[in-house]
Amino acid sequence: MPIINENFALGGLCKELANIYMYKNEKGVEKGVYVSDFPMFRWLQFVNDVTILSEEIRRERYTESIKQVSCILGRFLDFIGTYINKESTPSFSNNNNINNRWKVWLSFSELLATAFNLKSYNSKLKNIEKLPEGLTRWILAKYPFVCAKCGEKPCVCVVKPWVFENRREEPGPYKDYKNNIEDKIKTLSNNITISEDIRKEQNGEYDFFIKGFFNFFKEIYRNSYHKAEIGKIFMHLNEEVGEATIELTKLELIWLSPSDTFNKGTVEDIIGWSEAEIEKKTQNIRGEGASDSKEKIKKQQNKLYTHLRDLVADKKSSPIRKKLADLFGNNFNKINGKPEDWLRFWFIYKISEKFKEELADIASWIVAISCKLCEIKNNDQEGKEVITQLLKIYTHDSPGHTKLRCRACNNSKCTNSCLVVNSCGKELVEHAMML
């Protein structure tokens, strides 16, 4: 087994961490902690770790804060690794109840696994095929080796913060920066191997080194980290976690909704609601470029409405239907293919794309908080310290780092009892320590 250290692949670390909690026995049956099949519960464990970090920062316990960042990173990579590597082969129950008819996936876990592995359609990133679906690909889609807002490396957002924070309300001053970003994306499309932080795996796929993941964001944003207060950096991390939670909740809502929720009437209700909201938001656009921006929004709005109506109309030649069929492959053929099914699959695709983007943002702010904490401690080994702490947590200080273990029970294959013992044990400790 290869040694797990800072030169290990990021995607490989995701998989190794996930294998602690969800794995297959000798008969090929999935085993592990049962909540591994409940994405929202697993995500809330990650949110809980972020909450603990807020207390450590508030109390100015910066050594403990770095350890907690390592816990957060481990939980974050574990979550991604679980669903990006989970088999999502459709299966069916014999229940013909209308609420279950459409469900290609019998669990939300399987739906999320499919969403994670959907080919990310981004017309601007034409040559990204060398990258498999996963955190590295999602990061580069959002951050093409430059800042996602200003298009520069190092980032210059701190010089003119109002240009970037108000870019939706006042688009005029932001126009040149937006064009710059698009130029950088074209560079990425032509050559994705321009960074030493990316390695080519034995299977021919590309991925970040673990240390390269930290270096990547440091090169872009280190000046910004230096200027920002630790509390504001944490608040931004917390903001991104909240936004990702919203998208995950939307996916689960679609999973839970009965099949008769999605129909032609639903489309008109969605369009009516969004029209009112878009009208409110466009009224806030002002200054130079306001009229052009409003016109672009109107065109995008009409395009989306056309897609929605095409999906529930009997138009088998619809381009958007062909795109969805390509994305989901045989999954869609497993159900009756009624118009409402097309609509549901379209929203699964759109929400999954936004969720991946939010995960990339979380990754950037995990690095940001790591850098700031190490700056406070006069330590310039940000990534190395966090990685070292993470490996200590998941190996219990065993030398070599060749096998990761549960940070609670120290077993390479965790079980349900560990979660119960740990959670209930903490509750007893809390009561016992009350003075």
Domain ranges of the chain: 10-404
Among 21-25, 88-92, 330-334, 414-418, name the most confident range: 414-418
Asked whether the predicted pLDDT for residue 30 surpasses 80, the reply is no
Query: Has this prediction a pTM greater than 0.85?
Result: yes
Give me the mean pLDDT over the 42-70 stretch.
95
Determine which of 10-19, 68-77, 181-190, 321-330 has the lowest per-residue pLDDT on average.
181-190
Of the listed ranges 102-116, 295-309, 358-372, the least confidently predicted one is 102-116
Which range has highest mean pLDDT (24-28, 58-62, 408-412)?
Answer: 58-62
Pairing verdict, β 30-32 and 22-24: antiparallel
Return the structure tokens found at 278. Answer: 């878009």
pLDDT bucket at 241, cuts 50 / 70 / 90: very high
Q: Band of the pLDDT at 337, cuts 50, 70, 90?
A: low
Has residue 33 got a pLDDT over 70? yes
Q: Which two tokens stand for residue 327?
A: 């994305």
**Considering the chain, what is the average pLDDT of its residues?**
85
Task: Of 142, 119, 120, 138, give the one whose Cα is nearest residue 77.
Answer: 138
pLDDT band at 65 (very low <50, low <70, confident <90, very high): very high
Residue 361 has pLDDT above 90, yes or no: yes
Tell me which of 126 and 56 has the higher pLDDT: 56
What is the mean pLDDT of the segment spanning 173-190? Answer: 78
Q: Which pLDDT belongs to residue 102?
A: 61
pLDDT at res. 245: 98
Q: Grade residue 97 by pLDDT with cuts at 50, 70 and 90.
A: very low
Provide the pLDDT for residue 128: 67
pLDDT at position 193: 59
Token couple for 2: 């290869």
427, pLDDT greater than 60: yes
Instruction: Tell whether the torsion through CA atoms of 199, 117, 218 and 182 is positive or negative.
Output: positive
3-class secondary structure, 207: strand
In Å, what is the CA distance from 40 to each residue of 36, 87, 245, 363?
A: 9, 18, 9, 19
Nearest residue to 139 via CA among 255, 51, 217: 217
CA 91 → CA 6, 88, 100, 331, distances in Å?
Answer: 39, 9, 12, 10
Determine the pLDDT at residue 92.
42
Average pLDDT over residues 358-368: 96
Helices then strands (H, E): number in the chain?
17, 4
Q: Three-state SS for 224?
A: helix
Most confident of 43-57, 96-110, 220-234, 280-294: 43-57
Tokens encoding 114: 């499919």
pLDDT at 93: 44
In this structure, which amino acid lies at residue 35? V
